[in-house]
Amino acid sequence: MEHIVNMKSLTTEEMMKIIELAREMKADGIRKLDRTYYVSNLFFEPSTRTKSSFEMAERRLGMEVIPFAPESSSTLKGETLYDTVKTFEAIGLDLVVVRHPRDKYYEQLVDHMDIPLINGGDGSGQHPTQSLLDIFTIYEHFGKFEGLNVTIAGDISHSRVAKSNAESLKRLGANVTFVCPDEWAGEFDYTTDLDAQIENCDVLMLLRVQHERHDGEGLAFSKWEYHRQFGLTLERAERLQAHAIIMHPAPVNRGVEIADELIESPKSKILTQVENGVYVRAAIIKLLLKGRNE
């Protein structure tokens, strides 16, 4: 593993290696690395959990975190992402994490970088560390992927989480079904009938309605109408299997993708996903730095 930019770039063995190391770290604690390493988290799009869980993982590994805020950087003077990343490399960083609104921004970088790049999300493209923490959470609960029925419901075409999880979960042997409005289907086969899936799924993964990516699309769902057709209502939750779990990458639009009362309900893994993100990101960083030193 040289970089982590999308789920296609990881083999199944590498995914399982990350899960195993994250599991060890969760059980035994995150130990400091063999020396001080320097990292920066270059987030050009808003983030609460990805950025702060990377920073938590980095600090628990004993790394020095160099601050970066695009609004007070030379980005405002027109510096390109490429030049920003090469500048951080020249300053002496050992690793960078990047989130950027442009799909596949990493394609112009990886062939020119001597340090590992972790993609913290590219536009509507990929969110590989979210997928890895999602599959870790599923594996922690079920101990397997083979044969699990995973229903992913929501704003599929704008979701990097949907695309990353489609790749990883199908490759690991899960049966993935997409549920969404016709307008948000994107590249996948899908159904609009959530009710037909609800009693059959082992994992119900809800996706955030990404209002910020809908400019000009003229979609006309009221919150109530979306919730009624595509959301996890209290009534639908009653019909889930006893062992089924509810997931959402968050942030959540409360009362839209999921009823308020269900967010912290016993079946919900939403905060466990956030907790697991720290261990998964620590495991990824450790493996990338180890690979670079070998």
Pick out the residues of the known binding site for carbamoyl phosphate. 49-50, 99, 127, 130, 250-251
Give the C-alpha separation, 75 to 80, whole Å: 7
Residues 113-132 that bind ligand CP (CB under 6 A): 121, 130
Task: Judge whether 9 and 167 are in contact, CB under 8 Å.
Answer: no
Task: Judge whether 174 and 148 are in contact, CB under 8 Å.
Answer: yes
| Part in contact with ligand CP (CB under 6 A); list of ranges 84-92, 245-253, 263-271, 278-286 | 245-253
From 108, 173, 235, 251, residue interacting with ligand CP (rule: CB under 6 A):
251
| Cβ-proximal residues to 287 (8 Å cutoff; 6+ apart), any chain | 1, 17, 18, 21
Structural Rg of the chain based on CA atoms: 19
Q: Rule CB under 6 A: is residue 254 a binding residue for ligand CP?
A: no
Give the C-alpha separation, 88 to 104, whole Å: 20
Give the C-alpha separation, 235 to 8, whole Å: 37
Question: C-beta of 166: minimal distance to ligand CP in Å?
Answer: 16
Give the C-alpha separation, 173 to 161, whole Å: 18
Q: Rule CB under 6 A: is residue 48 a binding residue for ligand CP?
A: yes
Given the complex with ligand CP, which of 47 and 75 has the nearer CB atom?
47
Given the complex with ligand CP, which of 129 and 198 has the nearer CB atom?
129
Q: Rule CB under 6 A: is residue 249 a binding residue for ligand CP?
A: yes
| Part in contact with ligand CP (CB under 6 A); list of ranges 48-56, 147-155, 172-180, 238-246 | 48-56
Given the complex with ligand CP, which of 53 and 157 has the nearer CB atom?
53
| Part in contact with ligand CP (CB under 6 A); list of ranges 43-51, 74-82, 138-146, 182-190 | 43-51
Q: Rule CB under 6 A: is residue 250 a binding residue for ligand CP?
A: yes
Give the C-alpha separation, 256 to 116, whole Å: 38
| Part in contact with ligand CP (CB under 6 A); list of ranges 12-20, 47-55, 103-111, 135-143 | 47-55
Closest chain position to ligand CP (CB): 50
Question: C-beta of 82: minimal distance to ligand CP in Å?
Answer: 23
Half-sphere exposure of 160 (CA within 13 A, CB side): 24
| Part in contact with ligand CP (CB under 6 A); list of ranges 44-52, 63-71, 80-88, 191-199 | 44-52
Task: Judge whether 100 and 160 are in contact, CB under 8 Å.
Answer: no
Helical segments of the chain, H only? 12-28, 49-60, 81-91, 128-142, 160-171, 195-198, 223-230, 234-238, 270-293
Q: Rule CB under 6 A: is residue 47 a binding residue for ligand CP?
A: yes
Question: C-beta of 97: minimal distance to ligand CP in Å?
Answer: 11
Given the complex with ligand CP, which of 19 and 133 has the nearer CB atom?
133
How distant, in Å, are the alpha carbons of 14, 118, 145, 285 from that of 62? Answer: 24, 18, 33, 12
Q: Rule CB under 6 A: is residue 50 a binding residue for ligand CP?
A: yes
Binding site for ligand CP (CB under 6 A): 47-50, 121, 130, 249-251
